[in-house]
A and B are shown apart, each in its own frame.
Chain A
Amino acid sequence: MIWLIMVATGIFTFGTRFIMLNRVAERELPPWLVEALNFVPIAVLTAIIVPAVLIDPVSQSFSILDNQRLFAALIAVTVALITRQVITTIGAGLTTLWILEWLV
């Protein structure tokens, strides 16, 4: 089953990259669709980030106060805004989390 889904989504993904390179798709995308598609990365990635930070992976409970991952994520946002580098952001976030877990 996993292979079926992998191949199907793989073909779909290839299709999204290939489709407009064809003479068949001579028409331009409607402007409203282009505008909407611009929001896809921000909407999807935020929808993954927020629960991963606010919901405890073990107890599945929601917490804002006394949440080490939230603090680590805020440090990561700051580092991301300053350095604009994936590696430093991951490093800062993980190090903060490790220090907090070690302290508490």
Chain B
Amino acid sequence: MSGARDTADVPAKAPSAVDEFWQGVRDELPLMFGVIPFGLVFGVIGIESGLTIVQTILMSSILFGGASQVVFAQLWAAGVPAPIVGSSVCVINIRHVLYSASIASYLKHLSLGWRFLLGYLLTDEAYAVSIRRFTNGYPGKFQHFHLLGSGSLLWASWQASTIAGVVVGETIPESWSLTFAIPLTFIAIIAPIMRTRAELAAAVSAGSLAIIGQPLPWNSWLIIAALGGIATGWLVHRHDNAKRRNQ
């Protein structure tokens, strides 16, 4: 994509709704390498945690958030009281407010039906590819079809891989230690994004609190460790920023 000819072509041929949709699907494709195994793992874990087939499969469309679904299944299997399961899931998913806020200026003009649909499809992975399109791409009037494309592919592959995982999970012996795939999946997500001192501090304090807090009632260690990690990361971030400004 270079040269004056491409640039000159832009106004003449703005992408249509169909173009944008398929562009969204294509941009989302490489992320399938992470999403499909994760969906499989969730399907297996749902069954191994004692959820029914219907509960496991429907959770993927009702909650539609990988990490939170795994935590839900894990805590439910451990016999944690329902309010704690619920609030743990909510803490994990609250980050979506950030995506919603950051993408809002591109979607606010749409009808309520569109905003409902695109809001539902606004996952980590769909947000990641479509915000890049919105900020760098054509500011066309069919832009939102890009998010429809990326979100639809993600949704369909998440449902399909969950179902596949449920089918496979029924036949996998427990001796394979497949539940260890949960921490491994999360390691794959956070190890590459850990950059700053503040992020490291957040991880260290969340990890330590999670161990120290084990004897606490109702498995409340998860919420306490999460909130402690967030607070520590934020304080270190503030401190580092203030120091940088003073230099």
Contacts and interface: CB of A to CB of B under 8 A. Distances in A.
A28 B198 CA distance: 24
B234 A39 contact: yes
B229 A85 contact: no
A103 interface: no
A42 B180 contact: no
Contacts of A90: 37, 41, 181, 184-185, 188
> B interface, by DSSP: helix, strand, loop or mixed?
helix
Contact of B86 (A9, A19, A52, A98): A9
Given A47-B225, A80-B192, A94 B181 contact: yes
B210 A47 contact: yes
Contacts, number: 257
Contacts of B187: 49, 73, 76-77, 80, 89, 93
A86 interface: yes
A44 B90 contact: no
Contacts of B180: 52, 69, 72, 93-94, 97
B90 A9 contact: yes
Contact of A1 (B37, B82, B194, B227): B82
Interface string B172-216: 000011111111111111111110001100110111111100100
Interface in A45-95: 45-55, 57, 62, 69, 72-73, 76-77, 80-81, 84-87, 89-90, 93-94
A21 B106 CA distance: 9
A68 to B, nearest CB: 9
A32 B65 CA distance: 25
Interface string B88-122: 01111111111111011001100000011011101
Interface in B69-90: 70-72, 74, 76, 82, 85-86, 89-90
